[in-house]
Amino acid sequence: MEVQQVLHMNWGNGETSYATNSKLQELVINKAKPVVIGSISDLYTTNLPRCLRVADLGCSSGPNTLLVISEIIDAIDETCHQLKLTTPEFQVFLNDLPSNDFNTIFKTLPAFYDQLKKEKGDKFGPCSITGLPGSFYDRLFPTSTIDFLHSSYSLHWLSQGLIEEAKVDSFNLPFYMPSHKELEAVVCEEGSFYLDQLQIFDVNWDGSDDDDDNNKAGFMFDRFISGQKMAKCVRAVAEPMIACHFGETVIDILFNRYMEYVSDHLSKEEGKFVNFVISLKGK
């Protein structure tokens, strides 16, 4: 089966869904927020488009999907307020692979629009949010139509297929984590953009925040709870691919064992994800 059909986060809002288990990704979005807000405000005040076209690549389905969009909208609203400008119209494209749970996102849109109207008044916008199914490795938009592209925790997914061989040997997770040197080299070689900002930070595997007051020491206070959170988060991401390859029946056992391994590992050392926040500007 094509990787694009198999790669999607767990659907819906239930116990094992991505929506319920994406706190870690939310933390990353919050940490990257200053760069996102700085870049979008900068872009807006430089170009002052009447309609601001924004796309989120790999938007998934869950609280993070509209979190990013509302951050962007809030930042523009605030900038316009400070500079006494009328807010632009917003056209937002939520992109993900076709098997993403777009329906769950669409159902939350009326409440999101109501909230915008309530917070920002009738003069704001209008704002239209559309789903755009397709791979960001293919062409998604006509040339020069998008002002601002955002993507968080999506670019490490590769587009290669899954190889059919002996089950374990052939399980090929299409996933790559580059070093910052590799990242810089790719941007430089591709040639359309220059690297405006690069920040590096890490987050705990369990999504707990070292900046939280009750977690100042960066110490994972309970390795079992941390192991459970990490296992649930990875399950929400990887279950469809693993179930497709190895069968549904292995899932509960596999993730219970995985939780034990993670807890065990965390009793010996800390687990951290390293994150890059990059802001690119067109040349």
Give the footprint of ligand SAH on this chain (CB under 6 A): 7-9, 22, 25, 29, 58-60, 64, 95-97, 100, 135-137, 152-154, 157, 159
User: What number of CA atoms fall less than 13 Å from residue 97's CA on the CB side?
Assistant: 17
Closest CB to ligand SAH among residues 45, 151: 151
- The contacts of residue 168 (CB under 8 Å, 6+ apart) are none
Q: How many CB atoms lie within 10 A of CB 164?
A: 9
Closest CB to ligand SAH among residues 79, 99: 99
How much of the chain is in helix, strand and coil states, percent to nearest 5? 45, 20, 35
Closest CB to ligand SAH among residues 21, 87: 21
**Nearest distance in Å: CB 213, ligand SAH:** 24
Closest CB to ligand SAH among residues 45, 159: 159
User: What number of CA atoms fall less than 13 Å from residue 162's CA on the CB side?
Assistant: 22
Closest CB to ligand SAH among residues 39, 95: 95
Closest CB to ligand SAH among residues 60, 228: 60
Q: Do the strands 89-96 and 51-57 form a parallel or antiparallel pair, or are they unpaired?
A: parallel
Q: Which two tokens stand for residue 195?
A: 């690297």
Beta carbons of 29 and 152 less than 8 angstroms apart: yes
**Nearest distance in Å: CB 55, ligand SAH:** 11
Q: Using CA atoms, how far apart are residues 212 and 87, in angstroms rounded to an integer?
A: 34
Position of minimal CB gap to ligand SAH: 58
Residue 242 CA: distances (Å) to CA of 12, 44, 68, 135, 174: 18, 42, 28, 20, 12
**Nearest distance in Å: CB 18, ligand SAH:** 7
What DSSP state is assigned to residue 214?
G
Closest CB to ligand SAH among residues 121, 178: 178
Q: Using CA atoms, how far apart are residues 60 and 96, in angstroms rounded to an integer?
A: 6
Closest CB to ligand SAH among residues 158, 195: 158
Q: Using CA atoms, how far apart are residues 32 and 30, in angstroms rounded to an integer?
A: 5
Q: Using CA atoms, how far apart are residues 124 and 138, in angstroms rounded to an integer?
A: 33
- The contacts of residue 17 (CB under 8 Å, 6+ apart) are 9, 10, 11, 62, 236
